[in-house]
Amino acid sequence: MTESPDLPEDEQELLEAFARLAPEGSAEWNFENSMRRLSTPAERPTWVGPWSGLPADLWERGRATKASERVMGDVIKVVAQDLTDYTQQAVDELRRFVPEASAVDAAIRSLAARVERLERTADPLGIRPTEFDLPATDAREWARAVPAWLDGGSGLPVVVGELSDRSVLDALADAGVVVEGVDPRGAVFWAAEEAAAAQPDAHRAQFTLRDVVDHLDGLASSSRSGVVLSGCIDRASLAEKLALVDAALAALTPGGTLVLLVADQQAWDAAIDLVSRDLLPGRPFHPDTWAVVLAHRGMADVEVHRAAQGSVHAIVTRKGS
């Protein structure tokens, strides 16, 4: 990176704009820089910044989140590396006594190569699905119905993830339900927080910037009266869809309600560009498919509410007592 204290401010900013795109430090590399970015308030916004119209420090907030993810990732990597080294040492010791141990060595190498291939398969481009420009789920048709389906909850919070157009979240909050809004997209998250800050205290939504499945996985079992899923449930792969549903069901209290707001397949195909359609890991399931999947998950009563006005269907099911 070309940097010079004598460089005119506009050129310096031009170069810094690229430096900010690096994934940044890690436990092993540039750790001090990583920590500086985590602990230092926002630097001045760049004149080539792409976030016009959003909070000036949004970029830095996003960077801090990314850096912290990176640090955690590296902790895991270091532990994994230590384990690998230890295993290799054990194999080396074994080989001193048993010549056939080279077969074990070969198996480990083969396994390592398979893991590497698997990692490439899982994240071949390094693009997170949330980085695609996808339309927000228009859930307005169901905003009034969802509080009724949840029946006011049982005093336990309701998780809404992702936030889509916030209509469902607002309706639940207006109905006096304790709502947790979850969304991994910084822009959506900060916009929701700003909107909530302008609401009276009665609007009881809280927000978390995180992948929905991670948030659900972190919840105590049977601790939520309802879970409303949209957006993430559409673009996820089959395995990720099932992980989302399983995590939601685990978090629900007996009798709790799971609502899936899913995009109509034709509307989805028409709304997103070809590149996103090709590269996203998944596409929305047909409501009938969801009925089959949920029945397979042991849900006895599955209601399918097809879109009458919009392009979003609602699937409602309740966890058995």
Partner 1 sequence: MEAGAPGSAVGGSHRPGIHLFVPMLHRRDAVGEHTRVLRDQLLAAGIPSRIYIDMPDPETADETRPYREYERDAVPGDVLVYQVATRSDMVGWLEHRPERLVLNYHSITPARFFAPWHDGIARAQEAAIEELSGLATRAVLGIGVSEFDAGELRAAGCPSTLVVPVANVGLPLVPPDPAAVAALKGRAVGRGPWWLSVGRLAPNKAHQDTIAALFVARSTTSPGAHLTIVGSAPEPHYGAALRRYVADLGLTGAVEFVSGISAGELAARYAGADVLVMLSEHEGFGVPLVEAMAHGLPVVAYDAGAVAEVVGEAGVLLQSKTPRLVSGEVDRLLNDPGRRMALVEAGRARLAALGLERAGSDLVAVLEKVAASGTSAATP
Binding site for partner 1 (CB under 8 A): 1-2, 4, 7-8, 11, 14-15, 17-18, 21-26, 28-30, 48-50, 74, 77, 109, 113, 123-127
Q: Decide whether 45 or 152 has the Cβ nearer to partner 1.
A: 45
Taking the complex as a whole, the smallest distance from the CB of residue 128 to partner 1 amounts, in Å, to 10
Least distance to partner 1 from the beta carbon of 62, Å? 12
State the Cα–Cα distance between residues 89 and 92, nearest whole angstrom. Answer: 5
* Min CB(271)–partner 1 separation in Å: 21
Shortest spacing between CB 67 and partner 1, in angstroms: 11
CA distances, 219 to each of 124, 211, 297 (Å): 30, 13, 20
> At closest approach, how far in Å is the CB of 238 from partner 1?
24
Alpha carbon 66 to chain centroid, angstroms: 13
Residue pair 27/76 in contact (Cβ under 8 Å)? The answer is no
> With respect to partner 1, which residue has the nearer C-beta, 11 or 43?
11
- Nearer Cβ to partner 1, position 128 or 144? 128
Contact between 161 and 192 under an 8 Å Cβ cutoff? The reply is no
How many other C-beta atoms are found inside a 10 Å radius of the C-beta of residue 207? Answer: 21
- The separation between CA 1 and the C-alpha centre of its own chain, rounded to angstroms, equals 32
Q: How far is the CB of 23 from partner 1 (least distance, A)?
A: 5
Nearer to partner 1, 53 or 126 (CB): 126
Nearer to partner 1, 70 or 313 (CB): 70
Cα separation of the two ends of the chain: 60
Q: Write the burial class of residue 15 (CB in 10 Å: 0-12 exposed, 13-18 middle, 19+ buried).
A: middle
Cβ(82)–Cβ(45) below 8 Å: no
DSSP-based three-state secondary structure for 128: coil
Cβ distance to partner 1 smaller for residue 89 or 266? 89
How far is C-alpha 44 from the geometric centre of its chain's CA atoms? 28
